[in-house]
Structure 1
Amino acid sequence: MTTFRLVCRTCGTAREPGPVGYTCTACGGELVVAYPGLAPVRPGATGMWRHQDRLPVSGDVVVSLGEGGTPLVPVAAEPLGVASALVKCEHLNPTGSFKDRIASVALSIAAERGLAGCVGTSSGNGGAAAAAYAARAGLACVLFALADTAEQKLLQIRALGASVHLVAGLGHDAAATDSAARDIAALAAECGLLPMLTGGRFSPEAMEGATTIAFELAEEAPRTTVVYAPVGGGGLLSAIGRGYGRMPAGPRLVAVQPAGCPTLGPALRGRFDGLSGPCTTGISGLQVAVLFDGAGAVEAVRGSGGHLTEVTDEQVHEAQQELARQGVLVEPAGATAYAGALADAAAGRLGPDDRVVLIATGAGYKDSAALGRLAGPKPAQRIEAHDIRKVLADVLR
């Protein structure tokens, strides 16, 4: 059984788990999950839940759809000028993103503590994960999504039975995003729901699910020198940093963020109030005008000796196309880590001895508009059966 406490990041006040209000009652600071040590993996278990004793789930209630244990797939190292490059295929999780790890922990906690379900914000992937795991647990799921959430992601959420509502300004305006998140977190505690806001500031226990990415990488690719992760609200980067931070040594962590939503750069300089203007990136899933896990993201970068790389939407689309040419079909957000690595290679920030891991966060089917851009304007050609031989000959010529 996991032993853990919740500790204030600011004043150090600790409390036992149970309530889902995640603000320090002594000073109003953020709470983080603290363990007495790094527990061993569970023998014979598979996937993410091999690491159950390293997660804030105390009992035997586990809501799982087979998340975690995602493969590491080699891609061409030559464009990066490095010794090796591997893609951590988080897009192959059950609902198509790394957020299944978070939702699995979140709904396990909700079931364990007798909560009615979960409530949260979403740009699509977190909502699909929450909807699936809530359905698996037989619990309610209420989501408040960005007004321009990709239609394919909304369909996935609705098909899984969640209640979803589009909120004007969410994601694109810093004040509106922060206000909505605070209100939802407060209402969650009031209504007996687990907050599913994928950042440590609002959902520290659930976000521990993403630390298992670091645990898996430490086992499967222990010689890794650099890990590239995309940044929206900062939760993924922060969780990977916490996971590696519980082990003796880890790689450099590089945060990759769209230049049209530059929130982490100011945070690294001590400013956490989010964008002063509108979010202009079109990369679905990374349109978060204020960091939900700013302190953790800054710690991950600084504590690992990493850095921030900002990329344009065009660079992300080019990276997505290059991965597709190698058989790895991800949505634009899922290619953002690779875009950052390519940019760093061009800037001389990678060396020939580096061993790189790229976190591919979301599946290609999540964004039909991006798929259409990859496929091009020419539709599939209709032919007669007697034309098959000629078509094969033309293709093979």
Structure 2
Amino acid sequence: MTEGMWRYADRLPAVAPKSIVTLGEGGTPVLDLTEALGRRLGVASVLAKAEDRNPTGSFKARIASVAYSLVNERGLAGTVGTSSGNGGAAAAAYAAAAGSRAILFTLTDTAPVKLREILVMGATVHRVAGVGHDAASTRAVADAIAEQAEQRGFAPMLTAFHYAPEAMQGVSTIAFELAEQAPELTALYLPVGGGGLLTGVHRGYRDLGRVPRLVGVQPSGSAALRRALDGFPGGIAGTVRTTVSGLQMAALYDTDGAVGAVRESGGHAVEVGDEAIWQAQEELARCGLLVEPAGATALAGLFADARAGRLRRDDRVAIVLTGAGYKDRDALRRMAPADDTPVISAGDVPARLDALLGRTR
């Protein structure tokens, strides 16, 4: 297996080739946005790691591939996990591909498209009040899943090293790819929910011996990382007020890993408002990149740092685009209300073409 993420099989949990469950995850492109954004940000180059190009529309496909490969290798019954949507969609897809099971406990306000995505691929789903929004409920459910899964022959599909350290090694392959695609990178901006992405990318770079500055970006209404860096125990965000699906986390699952990633790399945390995230989403759309709000959060943090004077002229920065635009239909409606589209008759088309296309050559 030499393509995609499994090119790095020697750095992933050991599984026999016949046990690997893959849908073509990994090997995502790095896109050059320097011409569009470099001058405005005042840096040498701006790149985007397009994780929305993964099979299930987010980086969570990497985790699910490792998880279900381990399920196959160990003869387990499937996975059990929590999800705000993308992790659940990945679990459902890879369970279907493996002929296995996915049992999921989601937020009550999981984006409808993500919920349908999970259901259509055959996963069992329960929505749980408080999960994602209340720290005590979120951790109680995760702890119960981790305990029960192990006892009943399932693997935990919780996208955090604290609960699923082997499956989460799939995240580190993002760093392995970036080290090859953008070896001169000086800073990498990533969105932060539970801290697993930040932790995994840091571990990957650390294994390679060279770590760029890692900057974790969170909505100000769910700023558990900032609070953890300020010394609040457990990275508790307090009341979650953000509407950004995927980043509605009342607590960091991977507090130590996320805090260590920022501190050891010389990075920092950035808080941005939901409106700044929506603006970044629109900015990316003007570059031809349609991502969900969580996927645009890293760019919002990059703009915030540019305004604060935290970037250097010789910086070569990258952002991680974590999720595809189709994942959040509400965000698309906000960006482009359908009723703004004019309706004309077929007979009006020639005149409209004349007006739009201008003088004939």
Same fold per superposition (TM over 0.5)? yes
1:338 and 2:299 are equivalent in the alignment: yes
Change in CA separation of 1:315 and 1:186 when aligned onto 2, cut-off 3 Å: same
Q: Counterpart of 2:113?
A: 152
Percent sequence identity over aligned pairs: 58
CA deviations 1:176-206 (Å, max 9, x no partner) are 1011100011011011111011011001001
1:228 matches 2:189:
yes
Alignment length, in residue pairs? 354
For 1:69, the equivalent position in structure 2 comes to: 27
Instruction: Report the alpha carbon displacement of residue 377 of structure 1 after superposing the two structures with TM.
Output: 5.3
- The Cα shift of 1:170 comes to 0.2
Indicate the SS of the match to 2:209.
coil
SS, match of residue 273 in structure 1: helix
Q: Do the aligned partners of residues 145 and 261 (structure 1) sit closer, same or farther apart at CA in structure 2, a change above 3 Å counting? A: same
8 A contact 1:174–1:273 mirrored in 2? no
**Offset, 1:169:** 0.2
Q: Does 1:289 align with 2:253?
A: no
Q: Provide the rounded CA distance (Å) in 1 between the counterparts of 2:104 and 2:351.
A: 52
How far apart, CA to CA, are the structure 1 residues paired with 2:190 and 2:314? 20
- Structure 2: 5+ residue runs without aligned partners? none
Q: Where has structure 1 moved over 2 Å in runs of 4 or more? A: 269-277, 376-397
In 2: Cα distance, 1:395 partner to 1:275 partner: 54
* Structure 2 CA distance for aligned equivalents of residues 168 and 239 of structure 1: 28
* One-letter code aligned to 1:105: V
- 3-state SS of 1:260 partner: helix
Q: Which amino acid aligns with 2:9?
A: Q
Q: Which residue of 1 aligns with 2:320?
A: 359
2: CA distance, partners of 1:293 / 1:395: 53
AA paired with 2:76?
A: L
The code of the aligned residue for 1:324 comes to A
State how 1:245-260 maps to structure 2 within 5 Å: 245-260=206-221
Q: Distance in 1 between matches of 2:237 and 2:273?
A: 19
Alignment match, 1:7: none
Gaps of 5+ in 1: 1-41
| Aligned residue in 2 for 1:173 | 134
> 1:187 maps to what in 2?
148
1:50 equivalent in structure 2: 7
Output the CA distance in 1 between the equivalents of 2:4 and 2:352.
44
Q: CA deviation at 1:376?
A: 3.1
Whether 1:81 and 2:42 are equivalent positions in the alignment is yes
Deviations 1:260-296 (A, max 9, x none): 0111122123333343632000000000101111111
- Structure 1 window deviating more from structure 2 (375-384 vs 221-230): it is 375-384
User: Matched residues in 2 for 1:393 and 1:241: separation?
Assistant: 55
Please say if residues 89 and 361 of structure 1, whose CA atoms lie closer than 8 Å, have aligned partners that are also in contact: yes
Going by fraction, where is helix more abundant, 1 or 2? 2
1:266 to 200, 203, 227: 227
What is the deviation of 1:247? 1.1
Amino acid in the other structure paired with 1:153: K
Deviation at 1:59, TM superposition (A): 1.9
Instruction: Give, as a single letter, the amino acid of the residue that structure 2 aligns with 1:175.
Output: A
Question: Residue 79 of structure 1: CA displacement?
Answer: 2.1
Structure 2: how far apart are the matches of 1:394 and 1:57? 63
- Measured after TM superposition, the shift of residue 351 of structure 1 is 1.2
Q: Which amino acid aligns with 2:166?
A: E
Secondary structure of residue in 2 paired with 1:277: coil
Q: Indicate if the aligned counterparts of 1:261 and 1:275 stay in contact, CA closer than 8 A.
A: no
Q: TM-score, normalization: structure 2?
A: 0.96
Q: Distance in 2 between matches of 1:232 and 1:396?
A: 46
RMSD between aligned alpha carbons?
1.2
TM-score normalised over the length of structure 1: 0.87
